Amino acid sequence: MNAEQTWGLDIAELQRAWSSYGHDFLLHDPGGPAESLVRRGELLAAVDVFEPVLARCRRWVDEVRHDAAAGVSRVLLRPAERDRCVEMAQESGGAAHHVHLGSPVMFGTPVMFGTPVMFGTGAEPGDAAPPSPPAPGTWSPRVVVDVLDTGCDPHPWFRDEAWFEPVPEVLDADDDSGQDRQAGHGTFVSGVVRRHAPGAVVRAHRVLSSLGFTDDLRVVAGLRRARELAARRGERIGALVLTSGCRTADDRCPPVLRAELARWAGTVVVAAAGNHGGSRPFWPAALDSVVAVAATGPDGAVAGFSGAGDWVDAAAPGVDVVSSYVRMSGPDGRVYGYARWSGTSFAAPRVAAAAVTALHEGRGPAEARAIACRDYPFGR
CA 315 → CA 1, 81, 251, 292, distances in Å?
A: 22, 42, 22, 8
> Contact, 103 vs 42, CB < 8 A?
no
Instruction: State the angle between helix axes of 348-360 and 185-196 in degrees (0 to 180), rounded to the nearest 10.
Output: 40
Find the catalytic residue in 100, 185, 196, 276: 185
Distance between CA atoms of 240 and 267, rounded to whole angstroms? 7
- In angstroms, rounded to a whole number, what is the distance separating the alpha carbons of residues 355 and 271? 13
Q: What is the C-alpha to C-alpha distance for residues 237 and 231, in angstroms, rounded to an integer?
A: 9
Question: How far is CA 13 from its chain centroid?
Answer: 19
Q: How far apart are CA 289 and CA 286, in angstroms?
A: 8
Catalytic residue among 10, 149, 153, 313: 149
Spatial distance between the Cα atoms of 127 and 175, rounded to a whole number of angstroms: 30
The answer to whether the CB of 322 falls within 8 A of the CB of 346 is no
H-only helix segments in 154-268 = 185-196, 216-233, 255-261
Beta strands at 36-46 and 268-272: parallel, antiparallel or unpaired: unpaired
CB 273 within 8 A of CB 285: yes
**Beta strand extents in 35-104 (DSSP E only):** 36-46, 61-67, 72-77, 95-102
Q: Phi then psi for 28, rounded to 5 degrees?
A: -90, 135
Identified catalytic residue from 100, 210, 345, 360: 345
Buried b (16+ CB within 10 A) or exposed e, 312-323: bbbbbbbbbbbb
Pairing outcome for strands 61-67 and 72-77: antiparallel
| Cα 286 to chain centroid, rounded | 13
Q: Which residues lie across from 241 on neighbouring strands?
A: 147, 270
345 is catalytic: yes
Residues designated catalytic: 149, 185, 345
